[in-house]
Structure 1
Amino acid sequence: MSLKAKLKRELRFFRGLNRTLGRIRPLSPESKTLVCDDLQAAVEHWRERPAMTFEGRTLTYGELDAMANRFAHWAKGAGLRRGQTVALFMPNRLEYFAAWYGLSKVGVITALINNQLTGAALAHCLNISGASNCIVDGDTSPVFEAARDQLDRPMLQWVLGRAQGDQRDLAQALKSCSQLPPDRSVREDMTASDTALYIYTSGTTGLPKAARVSHLRAQLYMRAFAAATDAKPKDRVYVALPLYHATGGLCGLGAALLSGGSVVLKRKFSASQFWPDIVSEGCTMFVYIGELCRYLVNHPPEEDETRHKLRLAFGNGLRPDIWPQMKQRFRIPEVLEFYGSTEGNVSLFNFDGREGAVGRVPRWVRKRFNVRLVQFDAETNEPIRGTDGFCIECPPGQIGECIGRIGGDARSDYGGYVDKLASEKKVLRDVFEKGDAWFATGDLMRQDGDGYFYFIDRIGDTFRWKGENVSTGEVVEHLQAAPGVREAIVYGVPIEGAEGRAGMAGLVVEPDFDLAAFGAHVERDLPAYAQPAFIRILPQIDVTGTFKHRKMDLVAEGYDPALVKGALYYRDAKRGYVKITKAGHEKIMAGAVRF
């Protein structure tokens, strides 16, 4: 790289870093300014400007705020008090953001429930939220009803749509509520450290956990992305990611709504509709996860893909093999990749666009960041400690676990989960000195000599597929409940041309095991991203001396019929589980089979 190119790279990094740090530096856990105050300030500044467009309908900042105020007054009228929780179980729609924004104005916490969940997993998320009221719409109401008998406590169901039986008509209730802001006195003694949202994450094991998102953390996400993207009032941000995730619901919305820009919201992502939408709506930015970009690259070329006004794509999980293809084919001027976790305190930005890197911390600003990599033992699943008992920091080029120092300021604050025991399990103590505490991300990375961080893999039993973290423990529980399944083991396997790892299950089955019935059970009980793409039948599952399942050999054999002994199947979108032949395996390896 020439000296001129290096200087240009450093200037881009410096400008992005200073812009972002300048926007988030005033934040403090003790501050009386909440996330709703940030949003209210934006409303007052850009009241008449378009704020959000969804399925042909556009709301101005003032109209979106009026909708939020109705939710705030509805909560007060329903007897909800500060610190109580409302569960929000809906797909993307105009009312989604307005609901939690409005509830935050009266100190009510919103639990953002993944609208792909069903059955026991849904009931679990509703139970741990502590909510006594749940907001649904016509799509999610039947799913809620199906899980109702698994709830720990009675829960009122408020429907944005036609109400039946003991359901409450929320649309009608909102009509009778005031559009004016609620009195600020209801939250006058609240601080930014109070909880605003629960956002669910699979973590590394077990059922989904509710990450506690304080007003401070929500502000950090929204302000950081408004600054990092250098968003302006003329920007229009395309958001096709689910709003129950922080990437779409906080990062994507924050970039637009704290800058006077507009959000173009989609119910869900569609590769065929993406570029026509981008062009017709005049979008200048879009927020992504890596799998979304891979879908776009794999989609047949179309005229609109280069007729756009995009200046930036921002998100996380963009793999090195897709990065240059996306920039060159679609003529996207800049890509802003970042790294972060909903419950954690590590945030990284790749301001200067080094392909493949999730972020950068050069030596000259190292002290201003709380992130480090420590040597990790893959056998024990724990950081390696030296003879002095402290962890060992990785030199450049060595893979280790990414950790974040826990402190009292906004950037190093650790909110953790609603479950205090689960929160404590993610904390490493006495890492580099007695008494220090660090958040363990569960992610393996390496850092090069220029300070760039590169994501390697997740630690433990969670793998990522279709943009979601899949907990093997949860999937195993569902599979072992299927008729004819005696025992199950689940792991992730790579697929050529696909992002992340697809689920594969090894099953020990009874003589009367019915594969078609098993497939129906999987489709009914698990969300699409958690349904195993591959199945193999095992005579038994080998265990270690401590009775842990041995997965390494199974992962190595993958779904190759030349290596696997016994029956082997893959999940076809139309036919269910189909036997893998040598020819079928070749098609999968060539990328001719869609998963």
Structure 2
Amino acid sequence: MTTLQTDLSPTAIPPRVSSTAGWIGALARTARIDAHPERIFPLVLDAIAAERAGAPALIGTDETLSHGDLAARRHRYARWALAQGFSKGDTVALLMPNRPDYLAIWLGLTRIGLRVALLNIHLRERGLAHCIDAAAPRLVIAATDLAEALEGAWPHLVSQPALCWQGEGAETSLATQSAGFSGEPLGPEEAPTVTLRDPALLIYTSGTTGLPKAAHVSHHRIMMWTHWFAGLVDPGPDDRMYDCLPLYHSVGGVVAPGSVLLGGGSVVIREKFSARRFWSDVAETGATLFQYIGELCRYLTLAPPDPQERAHSLRLCTGNGLRPEVWERFQARFAIPRILEFYAATEGTLSLYNVEGRVGAVGRVPSFMARRSPALIVRHDVTTGLPLRDAEGRCVPAAFGEAGELLGRLSDKAEYTFEGYTNAAESDRKVLRDVLKPGDAWMRTGDLMRRDAQGYFYFVDRIGDTFRWKGENVATTEVAEALARSEGVAEACVYGVAVPGADGRAGMAALTVGPGFDLERLHADLVERLPSYARPLFLRLTEELGHTETFKQKKAVLAEEGYDPARTGDPLFLDRDGAYCAIDPALYARIAAGTLRL
């Protein structure tokens, strides 16, 4: 296991579990989930609340709920919904910023068999209307401070549901309406029977390749997610998870808080990430765990020194998307004892975990888990965007070290059932059949991976981001990592652009840069690190790269603007004659006319 054992802050807590113990803990916690089909997550939390009623559970900026408070509130919400005439199988949409009440609402409503659609608070007008229509809810529960967003979407809805406000300024808020109901646990005669196979949530994809898709999430998935991570992280009553990720996503809203609540610990909920306030907030709240997205860690490594950055009590940081070059800087600078990187998708049937802490790997399948794992990497045809088939029509497993698409095996077992989207056509497109034998079914992840001989998996690229140039496949993630290692490069976004008269797409990189950046030095670095076909032919220097609310780069806009100086005021460069030279209108005209040999 790779950990930093030297120069740790005095308050740093050593890793609680070894890699083997982490696997065993995860297996032990999930082993008997299927044996109790009516034991859903809200009922599990009821038992914990009975033992730790007065201990903190959810710590917000303006409100803290103990385990007992959280239980009482979700019970009142459940009884309120029943009194309103809602029945098992009905859908309610939730539009609310990060706050403790968010979890109380969906936990209470799913307890009685309602399905809760977790709406992205950053969407507006037609985008938000699309997500509401995809869920077809009977009711939308919305925070009053998001009234403008909801009002902008309202005229675009195919069907307008009922509306219930929560927060200051509401004449009859959800809190007011539910206040008169009992906060005691619901008896079996009060609520319908809800099983693990029943739907619980709708969680939306990010929509980076089109409009967001609403993914079905059953009670079984919630149980597996929370219990598996609780086994890996081993949370105890004294643990506090720092959670500034969106609560409307699976990691920030289910995995991070759910796994820690299982251990009787607490969750520090923040509305958004702040690099300026991060370390003081982590230190002041006594957080021992941090749920990250890789970009957050990168932002922190680029921030000025903070007097609190090594005065924390973090024993573990867990998340996904942590690039190798950021990983090492983040762990060393901030004295992080242990990092647990993983790979998963809301709608996916497989996940990978780097329990051992191998820098750069997204996960590993140890030998004793090989039969259980549904993961398979198959060769990918970049020209069609599909897995490569042999003469018999079967997919070809990739060799060790060879990049290919990661697939997840499907079966009738709940753990490996693809629950799909509300859109049946989108669900069908995710399933690949007759992969290794007639009649089998696998879920496409859309991600290119490679696996080494030790069983470690490494993310290569997202299918669609990879492009072909000079007859070779170029993985944008690998090029971005090579760029990021050069002095002065703060962030790199790599994409393919069309060039008149040339086959495929040429590489282009948009960079944000800082002190020490030098074009000549960058070119020399790329010559040393990348084959000629993978080096970006075009460069764009920009003050800021656009990001989605989950910190994903907005490549589509950059690719559309390309290397045309009329489309942007940013400096543009072309790799020509062994150096990057500026693109002016005259040079661009030659490229566009196809008269310049590249």
TM-score normalised by the chain length of structure 2: 0.78
1:174 Cα deviation (Å)? Answer: 2.3
SS at match of 1:136: strand
Counterpart of 1:83 in structure 2 is 89
Counterpart of 1:372 in structure 2 is 376
Counterpart of 2:440 in structure 1 is 436
Sequence identity (%): 40
1:163 Cα deviation (Å)? Answer: 5.0
Q: Which amino acid aligns with 1:265?
A: I
Once the two structures are superposed, the pairs formed by residues 461-472 of structure 1 within 5 Å of their partners are none
Find the partner of 2:410 among 406, 412, 421: 406
Once the two structures are superposed, the pairs formed by residues 310-321 of structure 1 within 5 Å of their partners are 310-321=314-325
- Flag the 1:400–1:534 CA change in 2: closer, same or farther, 3 A: closer
- Flag the 1:185–1:393 CA change in 2: closer, same or farther, 3 A: farther
1:215 correspondence with 2:219: yes
For the aligned residue pairs, the C-alpha RMSD in angstroms reads 3.2
**2-structure distance, mates of 1:245, 1:534:** 22
1:500 Cα deviation (Å)? Answer: 7.7
1:268 correspondence with 2:267: no
Q: Which amino acid aligns with 1:36?
A: P
Find the partner of 2:101 among 81, 95, 98: 95
Deviations 1:79-128 (A, max 9, x none): 21111011001110121000000001111111000111111110000011
- Flag the 1:391–1:39 CA change in 2: closer, same or farther, 3 A: same
Counterpart of 2:23 in structure 1 is 17
- Flag the 1:183–1:534 CA change in 2: closer, same or farther, 3 A: closer
SS at match of 2:432: strand
1:301 Cα deviation (Å)? Answer: 1.0
**1-structure distance, mates of 2:218, 2:290:** 26
Counterpart of 1:580 in structure 2 is 571
- Flag the 1:281–1:529 CA change in 2: closer, same or farther, 3 A: closer
1:175 Cα deviation (Å)? Answer: 2.0
Counterpart of 2:592 in structure 1 is none
Counterpart of 1:129 in structure 2 is 135
Deviations 1:377-407 (A, max 9, x none): 1110110111121111111100011111112
Counterpart of 1:567 in structure 2 is 566
**1-structure distance, mates of 2:350, 2:493:** 24
TM-score normalised by the chain length of structure 1: 0.78
For the Cα contact (< 8 Å) 1:210–1:418, is it kept in 2? yes
1:529 Cα deviation (Å)? Answer: 6.4
**1-structure distance, mates of 2:456, 2:49:** 38
For the Cα contact (< 8 Å) 2:349–2:416, is it kept in 1? yes
For the Cα contact (< 8 Å) 2:46–2:185, is it kept in 1? no
1:184 Cα deviation (Å)? Answer: 3.0
Q: Which moved more, 1:49-58 or 1:433-442?
A: 49-58
Q: For structure 1, which runs of at least 5 residues remain unmatched after alignment?
A: 464-490, 507-525, 537-553, 570-577, 589-595
Counterpart of 2:160 in structure 1 is 154
**2-structure distance, mates of 1:505, 1:140:** 38
Counterpart of 2:55 in structure 1 is 49
1:182 correspondence with 2:186: yes
1:255 correspondence with 2:227: no
- Flag the 1:140–1:226 CA change in 2: closer, same or farther, 3 A: same
1:458 Cα deviation (Å)? Answer: 1.1
1:161 Cα deviation (Å)? Answer: 2.4
For the Cα contact (< 8 Å) 1:29–1:410, is it kept in 2? no
1:135 Cα deviation (Å)? Answer: 1.2
Q: Which amino acid aligns with 1:567?
A: A
Once the two structures are superposed, the pairs formed by residues 132-143 of structure 1 within 5 Å of their partners are 132-143=138-149
1:419 Cα deviation (Å)? Answer: 1.5
1:330 Cα deviation (Å)? Answer: 0.3
- Flag the 1:499–1:49 CA change in 2: closer, same or farther, 3 A: farther
Counterpart of 1:31 in structure 2 is 37
- Flag the 1:296–1:133 CA change in 2: closer, same or farther, 3 A: same
1:77 Cα deviation (Å)? Answer: 2.0
1:75 Cα deviation (Å)? Answer: 1.1
Q: Which amino acid aligns with 1:31?
A: P
Deviations 1:330-375 (A, max 9, x none): 0000000111100010111111100000100134532121111011
**2-structure distance, mates of 1:532, 1:385:** 32
**1-structure distance, mates of 2:466, 2:77:** 36
For the Cα contact (< 8 Å) 2:112–2:192, is it kept in 1? no
1:327 Cα deviation (Å)? Answer: 0.8
1:429 Cα deviation (Å)? Answer: 0.8
For the Cα contact (< 8 Å) 1:29–1:193, is it kept in 2? no
Deviations 1:470-525 (A, max 9, x none): xxxxxxxxxxxxxxxxxxxxx9995855668489999xxxxxxxxxxxxxxxxxxx
1:30 Cα deviation (Å)? Answer: 7.7
Q: For structure 2, which runs of at least 5 residues remain unmatched after alignment?
A: 6-14, 468-475, 499-547, 575-579, 583-598
SS at match of 1:272: coil
Once the two structures are superposed, the pairs formed by residues 334-353 of structure 1 within 5 Å of their partners are 334-353=338-357
1:308 Cα deviation (Å)? Answer: 0.8
Q: Which moved more, 1:154-163 or 1:103-112?
A: 154-163
**2-structure distance, mates of 1:503, 1:95:** 40
For the Cα contact (< 8 Å) 2:287–2:313, is it kept in 1? yes
Q: Which amino acid aligns with 2:571?
A: I
SS at match of 1:279: helix
